[in-house]
Chains A and B, each alone.
Chain A
């Protein structure tokens, strides 16, 4: 049996073959571009980093001065307070510059994340309906939150850490070089090894971490789909499939994580270990020269050797931080990739350069040889031509997949057609500004979505500046006013997650009221609400009748009561217009409509009503 998790599994397997290194560089470049707006922050961070590194390196130096000059021999305690003062001032300076740097860095990261998220949000606002059909809301949201959090944790420290590692190394070399060039050279021999192993760690683990991140993102949306679609899972008894598929992918994830852990555990502690071994090397050399009477070191101070050792130990911190930052980059980069993947996805419908704000006066609608498909060369609608006179109501009939929804979605340009023209009052809809077009078309979608907020806000959604009177008028026309008034808080009642729960019928009438507030000349409705009781049906019916009275209407009809009141009926078959005309004309034609009418409506309508009467 095909597993439910198969697509996810295939995805996880596919990932194994991909290498993420080159993408990582281009992602980094892209991330740098977001920094350009904040170049002053970058400059400030750089200056602070220099100050911080210098001050960080002073303490061991002065401790050594104390050892050499105060303790001696010869000892001279009068110098001690001065040295201590320098140490404390340097320390305070370090603390302050560190604090300011961390803060400035943090603010910059917040601004950049905000910019990336805003850009992402804006791009989503412009995506077409089919885009949202293919990517889940949960997935899209977690990209903007969880994934961007990864980017944030990289952005918060990366520049400071990088500069710190480079600058501290340079400053320490500058300090220790004059003391003993040979010892400096010896201690530096470890650097290439550390560099090599850090790079190896990075190259080896990065693809793994990237895969983990990507699998985790998919796993989350898998869980979401499972939870949202739990009813369906139960009805079809696919529970075991869900679990088995989940476990399989989870296993891939765990194994990848453990593999990454294995590589990390080999390389990560290696840097500091090598560095410490460098200290041992310094001692070997020191021991060797100490044994030669009259050699440089034998004359030099014990303090110098201590200084070396302490500076080498100091170097472990920036190196450890740097490898941690490289670790956060891996997660950040996978996250950034997931965000930009969506941001960069093409936006299908856009304003033409010469688009205008045009007012729809009458509402005459003409479709001429309209061809449309979601995928090229696979048209959903083929050569559709018909005209709707102002104020006319057209009921659209057709089997599932006949292109009904696609057809009505073309009018407000939720999709752009591939061939033909759609005109409103003689003007091609592409010559309208998108916002201008959509504001003048009332839309009642199949899924009745209401935002969290008051009833009033929801009804006035398309026209936030609408007066209370307009809102009440719309609610009355949608036959929902009486219900709203019956609520204790009336139009200020909250709906949505925190508010009251409305029935399907109430929601639908709310959405009708919402469509009517702007008093649009054209109305498109997807009246596919099935499984309602007769009373609700009558109420909705009455609302639809009132709403469509004077408006040009395209309505996808499921009920005979809707069809009955339409002026004309359009029957779609496989994306083409099969029949178009009044009820009587089509009955007389003795075609598809008559067959549907006889089998679907005549027989079914009566019993439903009877049942309803009993309720």
Chain B
């Protein structure tokens, strides 16, 4: 009864390599979303539009600085303020549509998948429910469905927003000034390599917490299933000791994962600072020589901010994406299970002469 016997099957589950390619899984989830195609198209468009209108704001500031404030051309505010307000309003409306539509699609798709799983469970062979397997089956319509639900609600939107923010920020930066843009993104390759490299450690640590969490869950489940026996033999202290040990493993693994996970940010911030330094150093001289305007310089420092954060976000999202894909694969695995015992009557009636 020591350590981790109960975790075996869950451990296997965590480690199992996925066999179905992502695009197949995404395609099948998309099939489910077909029923809500309108919502999906509106939602995705609104997400992209929201990200882009969000990016317009620093550009609007650049315009205000260069064309209105610096030349003291107050009349410019007459067109600037309504335009700015319109962009903010647009941004708000897009975000509203995005949040709502994506929620509708996410919830309905997962609900349908869950219904299909439940329906399948009622007809598949009872062999499927053999001893020791129930925990695994239960986790599909519950834990797995939940993972996918959270991913569709937050992760997918984040990925869309991040990608459009990054691409949009690049587009605007290159449009504003090519040379400064090239300088600004010199730190980018370093950042990507670094984040990816740290991400590998972080993912490993994260997986370890998942395994210890399954261990803890299995331990808890078994202790509770056997609670009558434990009470009958007054072994509460003994089982508690084992439980606490398993819990400590989990706490330690989680703390480690937090340590590695939070070590990202200083590096990322450091790199972003270097980027800002480069922009300011060259930018100030460029402003003084008249190559760029002050507004563009200020806008650049803001854009530096607005593409770096989504980038980090995107890399950390990779874990969520992976676990959602595994969950989706397991859910389809259940949905696709072949039914062995079907109602035999119709066939038989055909066979009769």
A residues contacting B by CB (< 8 A) are 59, 63, 66-67, 70-71, 75, 77, 80, 84, 87-88, 91-92, 94-96, 98-99, 102-103, 106-107, 110-111, 114, 117-118, 121-122, 124-127, 129, 132, 137-138, 140-142, 144-146, 156, 216, 219-220, 223-224, 226-228, 230-231, 233-234, 239, 242-243, 246-247, 250-251, 253-254, 257-258, 261-262, 264-266, 268-270, 273, 276-277, 279-280, 283-284, 286-288, 290-291, 298, 302, 305-306, 309-310, 313, 412, 414, 434-439, 441, 443, 445, 447, 449, 451-454, 457-458, 461-464, 494, 496-499, 501, 514, 518
Contact = CB atoms under 8 A, between A and B. Distances in A.
Contacts of A283: 64, 68, 77, 80-81, 84
Interface string B1-30: 110011011000000000000000000000
- The size bracket of the interface on B is 35 or more
Contacts of A265: 95-100, 103
A107 B225 contact: no
Contact of A87 (B129, B226, B277): B277
A277 B87 CA distance: 10
Nearest to B233: A462
A121 to B, nearest CB: 6
B158 interface: no
B186 interface: no
A498 B301 contact: no
A220 B2 CA distance: 29
B187 interface: no
A124 B266 contact: no
Interface of A is mostly: helix
A69 B284 CA distance: 11
Contacts of B115: 243, 246-247, 250
A95 B221 contact: no
B265 A141 contact: no
Interface stretch (B116-124, B173-181, B190-198, B345-353): B116-124
Contacts of A103: 258-259, 262
B99 A141 contact: no
A121 B243 contact: yes
Contact of A70 (B81, B85, B284): B284
A436 to B, nearest CB: 8
A63 B234 contact: no
18 contacts: A70-B284, A84-B277, A99-B265, A114-B247, A125-B231, A129-B231, A224-B142, A243-B115, A243-B119, A251-B111, A254-B111, A265-B96, A306-B298, A309-B61, A439-B234, A453-B1, A454-B1, A496-B132
Contact of A273 (B69, B88, B301): B88
Contact of A461 (B68, B88, B118, B233): B233
Contacts of A518: 233
B126 A234 contact: yes
Interface in B213-240: 213, 216-218, 220-236, 238-240
B234 A246 contact: no
Contacts of B99: 261, 264-265, 268-269
A298 B138 CA distance: 70
B287 A71 contact: yes
Contacts of A439: 233-234
A96 B273 CA distance: 13
A313 B303 CA distance: 12
Given A302-B69, A461-B1, 8 more contacts: A92-B270, A114-B251, A121-B223, A254-B108, A453-B1, A458-B1, A497-B8, A499-B5
Contact of A226 (B118, B224, B262, B298): B118
Nearest 6 interchain pairs by C-beta: A261-B103, A462-B233, A265-B99, A453-B1, A106-B258, A269-B95
A443 B232 contact: yes
A138 B136 CA distance: 12
B258 A145 contact: no
A326 to B, nearest CB: 15
A287 B69 CA distance: 7
A274 B76 CA distance: 22
Nearest to B129: A230
Contacts of B91: 269, 273
A270 B284 contact: no
Given A95-B266, A280-B81, A145 B70 contact: no
A161 B91 CA distance: 25
B228 A77 contact: no
Chain B binding surface SS class? helix
Interface of B: 1-2, 5-6, 8-9, 57-58, 61, 64-65, 68-70, 72, 74, 76-77, 80-81, 84-85, 88-89, 91-92, 95-100, 103-104, 107-108, 111, 114-115, 118-119, 121-123, 126, 129, 131-132, 134, 137-138, 141-143, 146, 213, 216-218, 220-236, 238-240, 243-244, 247-248, 251, 254-255, 258-259, 262-263, 265-267, 269-270, 272-273, 276-277, 280-281, 284-285, 287-288, 294, 298, 301-302
Given A88-B277, A273-B91, A284 B111 contact: no
A1 B40 CA distance: 38
Nearest to B119: A243
Contacts of B301: 63
Nearest to A224: B138
B118 A246 contact: yes
Contact of A451 (B81, B226, B281, B302): B226
Nearest to B221: A141
B255 A107 contact: yes
A424 to B, nearest CB: 15
B6 A452 contact: yes
B141 to A, nearest CB: 5
B231 A438 contact: yes
B235 A414 contact: no
A118 B247 contact: yes
A156 B254 CA distance: 12
A208 to B, nearest CB: 12
Nearest to A245: B118
B36 to A, nearest CB: 11
B294 to A, nearest CB: 7
Contacts of B284: 66, 70-71, 77, 80
Nearest to A306: B298
Given A287-B74, A302-B70, A497-B6, A107 B107 contact: no
Nearest to B64: A283
A118 B118 contact: no
B281 A84 contact: yes
Most buried by A among B76, B118, B236: B118
